[in-house]
Structure 1
């Protein structure tokens, strides 16, 4: 358990540490994981790390080291353990609540000063957490608004696209029907022309057949006299 937090010491969020140290927020999380993997202790609010000045010093050491990160992390863990042990030795020993309070006014004064400082540090940390939560709520609200705007834009674009597709489909359908009607008219015209040709051909065949019959009849009458043949063409 950490006991090296100084009275009224400021607490930092991950984003603030990234800006303070000059590294990316994911790098802060990565360094925190390396430190914890090697035994380093952070203040925690659930799963969320809360950083103080000594933690920032450790992150700077990881940032600037030339050695493997795990090796440097182990050195920092040893330093933290030594610091915590020294703090334990110098901590004010508060009596149990079940025992009588110390009668020494100086000791009482020192104990109350310690409690007041711890309370102030806790209050400042709560203020920082409240500010962070407010920022998160604002960010989430903005993201929801952006999502609504994007969804609306996509919906409107989709509707316009569908309208264009329907309009083009109607135009193509009308054009296709127009072509069909034109083709139908041409087909009817061709059928009429073909029928006329057939009628004229039928008349020619009938005329030829009639001529052949008359020719045959004249041949039978004349019995070889060819003068009559020329008379047929004079008619």
Structure 2
């Protein structure tokens, strides 16, 4: 479990990491998956939460001259070493009034931290809402496309069957006509030979 987050450390979304390190958001997700597959730990809520040290990992992957997997393994090793230096009590926040900050500047810092966290959370919620809306639109379009394709295939199959039946009927009529003509010729020959 990650224990290296510092008091007042800001959390970032995938989009913010992408903007900060100069990668596309899908690239940030790809790097995150490579890191996780190799054992790297991210802070988690409903989404992955990135902190400053995670930026460094993404930059290392972006700028590596080695394979991404090899670099990811090195980063996981470095993270494990770094996490060994922290213990759970390092980030415990005192919850008593006596230990709370009385300095207005400290209170202001805490409030700014909370405001930033709230803003980041709201931004992530807006992004998730937009993503869900886009997904619903895409699913709706896919359902409409499926319906159009299914209808087209059904109509095409009906037209093909109707055409086959029409051609079969024409062929049968033509065959019967040929049989009648052949029977008529045979009858004339029989009369002629009599």
Same fold (TM over 0.5): yes
Q: Secondary structure at the match of 1:108?
A: coil
Bigger relative CO (Cα 8 Å, ≥ 6 apart): 2
Cα deviation for residue 151 of structure 1 reads: 0.9
Distance in structure 2 (CA, Å) of the matches to 1:151 and 1:175: 36
Structure 2 residue runs without a partner (length 5+): none
Distance in structure 2 (CA, Å) of the matches to 1:173 and 1:62: 67
Distance in structure 2 (CA, Å) of the matches to 1:143 and 1:79: 43
Tell me the equivalent position of 2:44.
44
Q: After the TM superposition, which of the residue ranges 172-181 and 71-80 deviates more from structure 2?
A: 71-80
Residues 172 and 42 from structure 1, CA distance in 2 versus in 1: closer, same or farther, beyond 3 angstroms? same
TM-score, normalized by length of structure 1? Answer: 0.61
Matched-pair contact (CA < 8 Å) for 2:12–2:51: yes
1:19-98 equivalences under 5 Å are 20-22=21-23, 24=27, 25-34=29-38, 37=39, 40-46=40-46, 48-66=47-65, 68-69=70-71, 70-79=73-82, 82=85, 88=90, 94-96=94-96
Q: After the TM superposition, which of the residue ranges 114-123 and 141-150 deviates more from structure 2?
A: 114-123
**Is the aligned partner of 1:131 residue 2:122?**
no
Matched-pair contact (CA < 8 Å) for 1:11–1:50: yes
Structure 1 residue runs without a partner (length 5+): 201-235
Matched-pair contact (CA < 8 Å) for 2:12–2:50: yes
Show CA shifts across 1:187-231 (max 9, x none). Answer: 331332243145x2xxxxxxxxxxxxxxxxxxxxxxxxxxxxxxx
TM-score, normalized by length of structure 2? Answer: 0.72
